[in-house]
Amino acid sequence: MPTPRRRRPVPPLALCATALLVPLATACSSSGTDGSADGQRLRVVMAFPPAQAMSPYGDDAVTLSRLAVIEGLTTLGGNGDARPALATSWKRDNDRTWTFTLRDAVFQDGRKLESTAVARSLRAAQEASPKPRVLSDTRLDVTTPDAKTVRISTRTPDPLLPQRLANPSLTILSEGAYEDGRVNPAGHATGPFTLSKVNGAVSATLQRNDTYWGTRAKAPGADVKFVADGTARANALRTGSVDVAEYVPVSQASLLGEKLVHAFPSARTNGLSLNTRHGVFADPAMRAAAREAIDSGALVKGVYEGRADTAQGLLGPGVPWAAADRTAPTDRAKAAGEAEVAKTGQIVLATYTNRPELPEVATVVQQQLTARGFTVKQVVRDYAQLEADALAGKYDAFIQARNTLLDTADPVSYLASDFTCDGSFNISQLCDERVDAAVAKAAGLADTDDRHRAEMAAEADILGTDALVPLLHERFVQGYDDSRVHGVSLDPMERTLITADTRVG
């Protein structure tokens, strides 16, 4: 393996090994463990511990993107448009084929970025199991006309391919990342920071990538802790143990004060996924009864202290065009009566602790369902302990907070992955021919306005099944002291947080 070309040596990975195992307050010194004198290391606390050992094919890819470790061929602008990243330009050859031109860049292990690496990465994502959500409704065929050109074809027309390629799960890694049937992004990506150490689900160490093709990172590195407990994250920020705290709990926001709290609109919808294949909610009448039991306003007022928006549909205020094109849900079943509901057996309602409001949401939802006659048992754990069972349909109901623009910056990928028969994130286990047809129609439309109208028609069909009951629309709250920490990205699409510009002082 070639030796990484760096302007200054990277320290041994063991340098902070001891510190990474101790509490936040005694983590690696912010004075710079790589010996550089041109900035302080960042201290960051994240909400979600790695669930797949930092594999790029699940939600860990978002963590790597938010830490500025990985990159794809494209990135997203503020309005969701595709912009250059590892590809400098692209053109559409025909309705199914696009050609991308690569920039001059070097991987963190010293290898040059060439078309063969791009093809290898995209093919590996295509063959991954489970398949990344962003590929749940398409297949990519990749050829390499020359070292700096990649040609990508899809089986059906895909007007969103440039946006799709910005998804963190389609990151481009060097050959060294693919060994023994595993994918290891550490030291094999192209971002401004290199992932140099991962301590299980506890912590990670980043070092500045001094061969980065873009603007050199202003911080020499970052020491990252993964802490699912939201109050602990807020306390770490309050005491100065960290510089940036991801996802500050609403309950802590007023205690921290405006100097440390930065709230902004999101495209995240909190929803109650109901198992349409097995158990009580396989009956559409029971799903309708559950929907009628939910009081969104009570959740916003009681749990979120008004820092959220009441449920409007699958797409909330963070998707500003949605309201104008929204239509009423289609063909909803008549709700079962209280006597019928009372005869059902116990249902299992699950959610996770990584978002601190969700356990409280689950408690309120349990009370609302109980008042409707359901018998409800709660299961509340760390997300990593729940995901596999949720995807396998082992719960009757599951509360999750879902960013509806996360996959392609357009909700069509969310609709496909979460609600179609072949969707790879279909927690509700929904398989409905009409829904599949509506989503496919939206996915095939090139005109933005036409696609948006078709997406809202698909929303109406999905809501008509009651496979998911929208609970509310979140507002994001990130924590940092804006008098001393600069360059933190407040991204409604949740792709970025730490950037090359993030710094202390």
Specify the CATH number for the domain of residue 278.
Answer: 3.10.105.10
12-26, 395-409, 411-425, 463-477: segment of lowest average pLDDT: 12-26
- Rounded Cα distance between 486 and 67, Å, is 15
pLDDT given at position 283? 98
Which of 182, 213, 228 terminates a domain? The answer is: 182
Residue range 329-341, pLDDT digits in tens: 989 999 999 999 9
Higher-pLDDT residue of 158 and 115 is 115
Residues 247 and 338 in one domain: no
**Same domain assignment for residues 95 and 239:** no
* Same-domain status, 340 and 230: no
Low-confidence winner among 353-357, 464-468, 496-500 (lowest mean pLDDT): 353-357
Residue 151 belongs to domain spanning:
71-182
Number of Cβ within 10 Å of residue 231's Cβ equals 14
**For 54-89, what is each residue's pLDDT tens digit?**
999 988 999 999 999 999 999 998 767 899 999 999
Reported in sequence order, the residue ranges of 368-500 that DSSP labels E, i.e. its strands, are 376-381, 397-403, 468-480, 485-486
CATH number for the domain harbouring residue 202: 3.40.190.10
Q: What is the pLDDT of residues 168-197, one digit of tens each?
A: 999 999 999 999 889 999 999 999 999 999
Asked if 54 and 107 sit in the same domain, the reply is: no
More confident residue, 438 or 492: 438
For residues 425 and 289, state if they share a domain: yes
Domain identity same for 270 and 358: yes
Nearest Cα residue to 105 out of 212, 218, 217? 212
Point out the least confidently predicted range of 14-18, 214-218, 238-242, 284-288: 14-18
Q: What's the CA gap between 415 and 174, in Å, rounded?
A: 31
| Count of domains forming the chain | 3
Range 262-287 average pLDDT: 95
Across all residues in the chain, what is the average pLDDT?
90
Question: For position 3, what pLDDT does the model report?
Answer: 32
**SS3 readout for 171-211:** CCCCHHHEECCEECCCCCCCCCEEEEEEECCCEEEEEECCC
Q: pLDDT-derived band of residue 318, with 50, 70 and 90 as boundaries?
A: confident
Q: Give yes or no: residues 10 and 25 share one domain.
A: yes
361 and 338 housed in the same domain:
yes
Nearest partner of 426 among 467, 385, 458, judged by Cα: 467
Burial of 480 (0-12, 13-18, 19+ CB in 10 A): buried
Check whether residue 135 and residue 2 sit in a common domain.
Answer: no
pTM of the entire predicted model: 0.74
pLDDT over threshold 60, residue 347: yes
Site of tokens 């286990």: 429
Strand, coil or helix: 306? coil
Domain final residue pick, 165, 182, 199? 182
Could you read off the pLDDT of 124-150 as tens digits, one per residue? 999 998 889 888 778 999 999 999 999
Question: Cα angle vertex 304, ends 298, 309, to 5°?
Answer: 75
CATH number at residue 160: 3.90.76.10
Residue 31 pLDDT grade (very low, low, confident, very high; cuts 50, 70, 90)? very low
- Do 253 and 272 lie in one domain? The reply is no
Q: Tell me, what's the pLDDT at 252?
A: 92
Contact between 141 and 192 under an 8 Å Cβ cutoff? The reply is no
Domain check: are 356 and 449 in the same one?
Answer: yes
Q: What is the mean pLDDT of residues 151-159?
A: 92
Last residue of a domain, which of 182, 200, 228? 182
- 209 to each of 8, 106, 278, 310, 501, how far by Cα in Å? 10, 10, 49, 43, 13
Is residue 51 scored above 90 in pLDDT?
Answer: no
Per-residue pLDDT, 250: 87
Is the domain of 323 the same as that of 174?
Answer: no
Q: Give me the percent of the chain exceeding a pLDDT of 70.
A: 92
Res 494: pLDDT:
86
pLDDT band at 38 (very low <50, low <70, confident <90, very high): low
pLDDT above 90 covers a percentage of the chain that reads: 77
Any bridge partners for residue 402, and if so which? 269
The single-letter DSSP state of residue 156 is: S
pLDDT band at 25 (very low <50, low <70, confident <90, very high): very low
Look at residue 4 and tell me whether its pLDDT is greater than 60.
Answer: no
Contact (CB, 8 A) for 154 and 140? yes
The pLDDT value recorded for residue 207 is 98
